[in-house]
Structure 1
Amino acid sequence: MIKRKYEDGGVTDVLAREAEIRIEPVNDKRQRAAFVDLGRAFSDRLEHFVPQIRSEQLELVDPAKNPFFGHARVQLFMAMRAGKPVGRISAHIDELALAMPADQGFGPGTGFFGYFDAEDEDVARALLAAAEAWLAGEGMTRVLGPISLSIWEEPGLLVKGQDHAPMIMMGHHPAHYAAWIEAAGYARAKTLYTYDLDITKPFPPLIQRIVQSGHKNARINVRRVRKKDWDAEVAIILGILNDAWSDNWGFVPFSPAEVAYAGKKLRPIIHEELNMIAEVDGRPVAFMLTFPDINDALAKIRGKLFPFGWFHMLRWLKHPKGAGMRVPLMGVLKELHNSRMASQLAFMMIEEIREQAKTKFASTRGEIGWVLEDNQGMVAIADTIQSQMNREYAIYERKLV
């Protein structure tokens, strides 16, 4: 019977009531499919959840297809009770994260849990204990989560904002998961925010003046991403990203394989009018990506491409009329951080994207995020353009002893 000591000095039976719960490792293709399907079953219970495409979810946990596995050790687990699956979790170690400075959130000794779903608190504790035991056995001294699997995929647990549907590539979780994780001895390490924006309204006069001033500056050129040169554009964007975010909490650089993978995956949802690169003296120094919210389409086809969902999806991808718009990533080279030009470039890109989304795609709302709680620059931009915080995600941590 597996047991764990908690901070109060007491001993808690984490297998719950005389080994009623059994934790099983997931190691082969059939088991990975069951792992994904269990997560889908949990998600189907949630109000406002949008079903995702199953094949895409299978690919994310497939070592042969997801390049994250090229620099990570991953163990998936499922919880069983009376022969039925009642929960799941991942435990993983990112070698690139281990190489980062400890004062940036990850670093030596840091492992992760993710893909967390549980039928009840007993199951939650058993799953967390299994992930912790595996990580400790691999030499880890600290665990962070939920992060599923990469920090660039779905980081954090939704703790506020369950009253509306998530946008593209954002997690959606029941409110009670937070209490279960905290009861297992976890404390919040970091909070991530998303911000909702009414894009039908013009920005305040101050922002308009800043944008107009930028357009008059001959050194500045804000241009659309060129899809015909997509591979080169991806290299530019991720080069800026790796520089701009390199001092941020939780930063992990993209590997070359991940750059190629991300470029291939993102291309179908890229519309040139919605994605910008800013140049100063002809040199790319900033970017902003905007994704039409594919969840709008997935909700209509219930995440199923066959027999007819693929037709609706192809038509939507070509012209996502009325879709919400999410800005998941933007960056400005570090040399410009804390400068007037950095904010000016950001406002210029946001305004151009807002106008294109409104006029060409008939969009009415956008979402910015996720944004780290202590990213003062981005929080200030979100406040200045009068967006409203609409979702909050928590990343938890616990020492392994």
Structure 2
Amino acid sequence: MTSASIAIRPIASKADRKQFVDLPFRLYKDDPNWVPPLKGEALGLITPEKNGWFSHAKAQLFLAERGGKVVGRVAAHIDTLALTMNPAQGFGPGCGQFGLLDAEDGIVANALIAAAEGWLRHQGMNRVLGPISMSVWEEPGLLVDGYDHPPTIMMGHAKPEYRDWIENAGYTRVKELLTYELDITLPFPPLLQRIIASGEKNPRIRIREVDKTKFDEEAAIILAILNDAWSDNWGFVPLTEPEIKDVGVKLKPIVFNDLIRIAEVDGRPVAFMITLPDLNEAIAPLNGNLLPFGWAKLLLWLRKPKVKTMRVPLMGVLKELQSSRMASQLAFMMIEYIKRASVANYGATRGEIGWILEDNQGMRSIADAIGCHVNKRYWIYEKAL
């Protein structure tokens, strides 16, 4: 079979968007570790009116058809904020992205990637990173290790053959992202327990829960720390107000006071840790649909989640404290308090931290110290156009 039998076309209608969202349900139907997303959320991601990321970005989505049947999809996109970043941090001038790649076979994948590259070239881009779907804050990277268990909330999944398809299209790995898992029912080593106890005796330190009734105020505190803490990281693009609003709407139902902590030193917020119950455990049986009874099941679960896994998608400490003993102590204290709450209040037994950049030695050292091990690896690729 040749690429000549494949037609690649840009999406142009709501019906096309529906086909774009529906395709993975067919391609992954026999994969026990794929978690079907809620279709409404998946549509919102690619609909400019429903995703604040489009306030500073543009995208072109493509469908591949063979014999009138949809057999692949991809998105090509440009983030105008990413274009202003330092190229040493991953993005920069002339850098576009591709993502949301799914295909029946390598021939289809190659044709889709070529279409995405062509659109990016036409937009003046000279380099491409991917897969990134759609923002780096959503599902960056291609899963290359850890196919044997489902992803947690806001992490991606892919078939093993996708790696070869992307690399055969001329892409080389530019960054590895890691997730770590640990048994949160086990106590920390004695040394860490002493460090935590010392912090508890320090009158300068306060580790507090967030107050969901002051959601906007707490979110502003966390965002200020995040933008400072992560500003030098590879791939960093600051979150904008429209994005923050959208993220708040999506995540507020799974925000619980005892799972998000803010560390204060001398009354000043200097660090935070966000933990989310793994929503994927609740939505996996729904097969993407809230109707007819899925919404009721999900609402019931949200009242008081009982989960196996808790995910830590974000931690941060102000740059002025990074690499200090205080930073590590605050991190261990927040992890310990959230670990206790996760086990006692939600029945969780497993934690997942990440993603973490491969060269983020500070976070990797913390993960190693608390007994974590790497459970999934994601690669971001690069190619000159």
1:195 maps to 2:195? no
1:349 maps to 2:309? no
1:299 positional shift: 2.1
Secondary structure at 1:39 match in 2: helix
Aligned to 2:129: 144
Aligned to 1:123: 108
Aligned to 2:72: 87
Deviations 1:150-208 (A, max 9, x none): 00000001111110011111111001100110011100010001001100001111111
1:268 positional shift: 0.2
1:282 positional shift: 0.7
Contact 1:48/1:165 (<8 A) preserved = yes
2:302 counterpart letter in structure 1: L
1:30 maps to 2:41? no
Aligned to 1:216: 201
1:200 counterpart letter in structure 2: T
Aligned to 1:43: 28
Instruction: Tell me the TM-score normalised to structure 1 length.
Output: 0.94
Distance between the aligned counterparts of 2:211 and 2:33, measured in 1?
35
Distance between the aligned counterparts of 1:86 and 1:195, measured in 2?
34
2:325 counterpart letter in structure 1: R
2:297 counterpart letter in structure 1: H
Of 318, 324, 333, the match for 2:309: 324
1:285 maps to 2:290? no
Distance between the aligned counterparts of 2:307 and 2:94, measured in 1?
46
Secondary structure at 1:19 match in 2: helix
Of 310, 314, 336, the match for 2:295: 310
1:38 positional shift: 1.2
Contact 2:144/2:378 (<8 A) preserved = yes
1:268 maps to 2:253? yes
1:257 maps to 2:242? yes
Contact 2:278/2:307 (<8 A) preserved = no
Distance between the aligned counterparts of 1:300 and 1:155, measured in 2?
24
Aligned to 2:366: 381
Larger mean CA deviation between 30-39 and 273-282 belongs to: 30-39
Instruction: Tell me the TM-score normalised to structure 2 length.
Output: 0.98
1:358 positional shift: 0.8
1:368 maps to 2:353? yes
Distance between the aligned counterparts of 1:223 and 1:375, measured in 2?
26
Contact 2:278/2:311 (<8 A) preserved = yes
1:252 counterpart letter in structure 2: V
Distance between the aligned counterparts of 1:41 and 1:229, measured in 2?
42
Distance between the aligned counterparts of 2:100 and 2:368, measured in 1?
32
1:138 positional shift: 0.5
Distance between the aligned counterparts of 2:69 and 2:20, measured in 1?
12
Secondary structure at 2:50 match in 1: coil
* Count of aligned positions: 385
1:18 positional shift: 6.1
Contact 1:277/1:288 (<8 A) preserved = yes
Secondary structure at 1:23 match in 2: strand
Distance between the aligned counterparts of 2:107 and 2:366, measured in 1?
42
Distance between the aligned counterparts of 1:106 and 1:145, measured in 2?
11
Of 97, 108, 112, the match for 1:112: 97
Percent identity between matched residues is 59
Contact 2:3/2:107 (<8 A) preserved = no
Of 359, 378, 386, the match for 2:344: 359
Contact 2:3/2:111 (<8 A) preserved = no
1:80 counterpart letter in structure 2: E
Aligned to 1:4: none
Distance between the aligned counterparts of 2:101 and 2:286, measured in 1?
25
Alpha carbons of 1:246 and 1:18: their partners in 2 closer, same or farther (altered >3 Å)?
Answer: closer
Runs of at least 4 residues off by over 4 Å: none
Gaps of 5+ in 2: none
Aligned to 1:20: 5
Gaps of 5+ in 1: 1-15
Deviations 1:213-255 (A, max 9, x none): 1111111110001101001111111111111000000000001
Aligned to 2:381: 396
Alignment of 1:94-109 (within 5 A): 94-109=79-94
